[in-house]
Structure 1
């Protein structure tokens, strides 16, 4: 009996010791339970950073932020005695309320999730005091983008809640579900600079979920860091004028400052008001824009690919001069039995051929470049010559993306021998099979920004800077490094003098004289009329001005508008006037463009 008594006492002592040791671990050594207890009174509140704003080159605001509020819910804490009153307060119906609560429960029963997103400031002011009466609902302040000028939509891009794919691609694991991210345009390309860094504040809450103050006097709090502001290269008045000129039309305008590569204007038409993709109606409006047959979301200056047409003849001339197969004085008959032509001319030198856009001349020029008899086999000789020609063309920034600071830039197409081998399924081919590329037709494809850059190359007499939209990031006051590096073509600078003089002559007395000539500014330009069967031709014009010390280079594409000397030449010259003198001195040309009757 005595042994049994001692055994029972020992059992009680052991059990008590075990409980004491466990209690010691729980209260002293193991912080998990301590943190769990803290979680019952502590609530983290995310502080979203102020996203960087965007200005034009002169300091005018293009994009800024507007405050909105997300109403968050923790399903476990929700206590609503009068559902109808809450629905009336939030301006939703009962079915919406039930659905949103179910979605929140599916996400987490104990973690906060968005119940109602992006409540505008004026609506929030009406409900904030009453919302504190409903347990389980809290507020997170956020911002959305606002566009005071409703301009530059296709270049700016927009903000959207990050999706599952975006989260998976986020190798740095910065983003969380519910975060917003830049999509397309400047917003996407400069996302890492614009987004800033989120902060967090830990608040004490009571049993009713009401905030009672900072947790541990804010020891764990971190401040949000605002994103960096961007100074763009855009001249806002010029951009708005270009958008006005392109109303009711499809096409693009690209204007560049040749000496820096800074993009002065990037017009895509048709376009849209960027404010339609900011706020709670994003999904509805995005669907409408996506289904629009006029494709307003399509960024034509960077993504549309056209045949270059006659403006490509200037490149052919430069390459031929570099290869030594012609001189500026080389004359070639306008033999229209070889290829059709236009205008009243017959036996021009190089400048005259560019001025009159002579097709037979450039048919002959490219044949001389391609077939230099470096190989006795005419087929091999053509392949060798074509590949050498393409290397020259590529140095002008064609056939590959330029590297503009916007996503989704297309490359265009400049064919080489491998392309034609594939096209002809390795059957023999020679120059007579491909000669249409001599006049900018056939397989050649260019992107509008490439042609504006080409105009800048001629203006600079042989070099360029990669076109870019941002000239200053934050306090650095510099663009990204790659936009400060000069790029040279394979053509010697002296050969560009012929092109400059010829383009000046085009406007003085050639195809551009009627709508591109300015009284006190010497404009250098080249018209292009691009085949678009069975629809009307595209109207194309490139230009720069003034002839000496050029300040602006422009390319204009107006789809289905006929001759380049009409729509495109008119718009380009108006853009030059607007930028250099601030207004047009030819209201009849402006009226002609705004009426848009180019085919009559």
Structure 2
């Protein structure tokens, strides 16, 4: 019996060993990192990662902006390289010997058994010219993938671009599924929506001969998985308006941001100078990128979300609303235009109410408005009183989406700055500063800084009488809508009933007699524009110009902010640019007799004309 019992265990052990061997073999075939050596003959099987089609990108009117086009990369598997004739391969690929050597070093460092790129972005004719001879070099073979092709020369800063994933990215767990040579979104929407656009990879196991020629699927494809294409993005950007804005600012430095105030959707996003997004695709894109990077005009700099400026007189609207909320002024409060407090922009009628003060952009008036908001006798110590009041002021101002990232669907958005009491404590010392130290904030100057996107959003907030949706570019993903965070209303700390008191003054800025933005008027077409000009002091040269507005004033469909660097007074440069953009969007065209304003914005010498 003991003999039979022992024999039973021997038989069971044999079956167990066979089962373990089979399972090990199956596991080896499915997941082992060999990816190319899954059969007994280590040169007969390839594991091919199937890169899915990247999602397409469409504009507001469903016009295709970004598509995919086939390109070819020459890959190398270091372990398969035998007796390499480096000079002959360099001659075939038309690359320097040092480039080949660097590629081989990088490939070996990454993996001896996984493919790495040697030469990328070849066209079909490029590949056809070398494919036959390439088979003479063991370990080197072509790989097909889809690259980005842009059907528009505009919108480069919003769309962003894709590029080959770097070794630094590959080391991060987040990008574990990527392989050397694959593309990844580097900036703009391509980067923000990378996980949406990339889709899901598939895997195919192919039988190949020693020359790398496919001989069919391994075991009928039973271990293969299908790739899933990325989802398409449907943007809110109006391509015609975008192109027109880029045309207006060609040759300038600055930005234009236009929003639909009712939805927070971005209608136009102009960063000047701009560049053609196709420059960063295809063969030689690396060299073209370096040329853009080294351009002294900084065309790669995304001004609407990265450049921060003092807002100038546009900020007076915020200070008025804060003071109204605190109850320290009323719409009929009168302050003297006292130049001893701060110099005014020009001589004008007495600012006996807020409408006239906004229309004439009276600096002394808004000096006293903010003074009333900050110094409210909350402490007998004048320094502490200013400190307490400024802290409360800052909190209310930041509720307008200023001094913080709005959360737009783009990376690299800057916060800007709404200075706090702690900020001045650090710079001046605790109880070493008072209102006179910070009064420049009352007219949007000094330490304050906001982005073009934030200013456009401020206009959307005023247009909505106190609330906004977070600005966003993508109104639809696949067959769905935008991301959930873009459907949440944000309210300011100012009661919605108070916004109506600043609208008449804003309308007078544009259409009132003696207003500072008459060049933005569209009254001849029955369109009321509400806006505010600004001149931003610049210690390094000519002042910057700004103008922010929304229209139609009674039922806003567009909110816009224009910054033009070194353009002087906002009323003669930024205002006409905004007026043209509003006309283009609301009427679908710019009247022929207003073409002269196009020439002025594009080619005029703003520094030789003063209001």
Output the TM-score relative to the length of structure 1.
0.91
> Contact 2:534–2:569 (CA<8 Å) still a contact in 1?
yes
> Contact 2:359–2:505 (CA<8 Å) still a contact in 1?
yes
C-alpha separation in 1, matches of 2:171 and 2:138? 34
Per-residue CA distance 1:210-230 (angstroms, 9 max, x = gap): 211111111111111111100
Q: How far 1:102 moved relative to its partner?
A: 6.3
Q: How far 1:208 moved relative to its partner?
A: 3.3
Per-residue CA distance 1:32-68 (angstroms, 9 max, x = gap): 9994515431111221111111111111112111110
C-alpha separation in 1, matches of 2:137 and 2:373? 80
Q: How far 1:108 moved relative to its partner?
A: 5.2
C-alpha separation in 2, matches of 1:455 and 1:33? 61
* Structure 1 pair 483–104 and aligned structure 2 pair: CA distance change class (3 A): closer
Please state if 1:566 is matched with 2:572: yes
Q: How far 1:558 moved relative to its partner?
A: 0.1
Partner residue in 2 for 1:584: 590
**Paired residue secondary structure (1:432):** helix
Per-residue CA distance 1:325-371 (angstroms, 9 max, x = gap): 11111111111122111132224311100000001101111111111
The counterpart of 1:474, out of the listed 467, 472, 478, is 478
Task: Pick the structure with greater CA Rg.
Answer: 1
Partner residue in 2 for 1:5: none
> Contact 2:383–2:431 (CA<8 Å) still a contact in 1?
no
Partner residue in 2 for 1:180: 183
Q: How many residues align?
A: 579
Please state if 1:221 is matched with 2:224: yes
Please state if 1:555 is matched with 2:558: no
Per-residue CA distance 1:149-198 (angstroms, 9 max, x = gap): 11111112211222233223334633233332111211111111011111
The counterpart of 1:261, out of the listed 243, 260, 264, is 264
The counterpart of 1:451, out of the listed 448, 451, 455, is 455
Please state if 1:497 is matched with 2:500: yes
* Structure 1 pair 108–230 and aligned structure 2 pair: CA distance change class (3 A): closer
**Paired residue secondary structure (2:271):** strand
Partner residue in 1 for 2:399: 395
* Structure 1 pair 287–369 and aligned structure 2 pair: CA distance change class (3 A): same
> Contact 1:511–1:565 (CA<8 Å) still a contact in 2?
no
**Paired residue secondary structure (1:504):** helix
* Structure 1 pair 488–104 and aligned structure 2 pair: CA distance change class (3 A): closer
Q: How far 1:121 moved relative to its partner?
A: 2.7
C-alpha separation in 1, matches of 2:110 and 2:389? 64
State which drifts further: 504-513 or 30-39. Answer: 30-39
* Structure 1 pair 159–81 and aligned structure 2 pair: CA distance change class (3 A): closer
> Contact 1:472–1:479 (CA<8 Å) still a contact in 2?
yes
> Contact 1:396–1:489 (CA<8 Å) still a contact in 2?
yes
Output the TM-score relative to the length of structure 2.
0.89
1:325-474 equivalent positions in 2, closer than 5 A: 325-341=328-344, 342-474=346-478
* Structure 1 pair 335–156 and aligned structure 2 pair: CA distance change class (3 A): same
The counterpart of 2:208, out of the listed 174, 185, 205, is 205
RMSD (Å), alpha carbons: 2.5
> Contact 1:318–1:491 (CA<8 Å) still a contact in 2?
yes
Per-residue CA distance 1:294-323 (angstroms, 9 max, x = gap): 111111000101011000001111111111
C-alpha separation in 2, matches of 1:172 and 1:52? 18
Per-residue CA distance 1:94-127 (angstroms, 9 max, x = gap): 7766665666566555543323222123322444
C-alpha separation in 2, matches of 1:457 and 1:27? 68
> Contact 2:341–2:364 (CA<8 Å) still a contact in 1?
yes
* Structure 1 pair 397–333 and aligned structure 2 pair: CA distance change class (3 A): same
1:86-235 equivalent positions in 2, closer than 5 A: 89-92=92-95, 104=107, 110-128=113-131, 131-132=134-135, 135-171=138-174, 173-235=176-238
> Contact 2:71–2:144 (CA<8 Å) still a contact in 1?
yes
> Contact 1:26–1:33 (CA<8 Å) still a contact in 2?
no
C-alpha separation in 2, matches of 1:123 and 1:548? 59
Q: How far 1:146 moved relative to its partner?
A: 1.2
C-alpha separation in 2, matches of 1:381 and 1:110? 70
C-alpha separation in 2, matches of 1:473 and 1:266? 20
Partner residue in 2 for 1:9: none
C-alpha separation in 2, matches of 1:103 and 1:122? 27
The counterpart of 1:528, out of the listed 534, 539, 545, is 534
C-alpha separation in 1, matches of 2:85 and 2:424? 74
C-alpha separation in 2, matches of 1:92 and 1:383? 65
Q: How far 1:91 moved relative to its partner?
A: 3.8
Please state if 1:294 is matched with 2:294: no
State which drifts further: 180-189 or 302-311. Answer: 180-189
Runs (4+) of structure 1 moved beyond 6 Å?
Answer: 23-29, 79-85
Q: How far 1:87 moved relative to its partner?
A: 5.3
Partner residue in 1 for 2:251: 248
Give the gaps of 5 or more residues in structure 1. 1-19
Partner residue in 1 for 2:32: none
> Contact 1:48–1:141 (CA<8 Å) still a contact in 2?
no
Per-residue CA distance 1:19-42 (angstroms, 9 max, x = gap): x99x98998686399945154311
Partner residue in 1 for 2:607: 599
* Structure 1 pair 127–527 and aligned structure 2 pair: CA distance change class (3 A): same
State which drifts further: 104-113 or 526-535. Answer: 104-113
**Paired residue secondary structure (2:606):** coil
The counterpart of 2:75, out of the listed 72, 77, 82, is 72
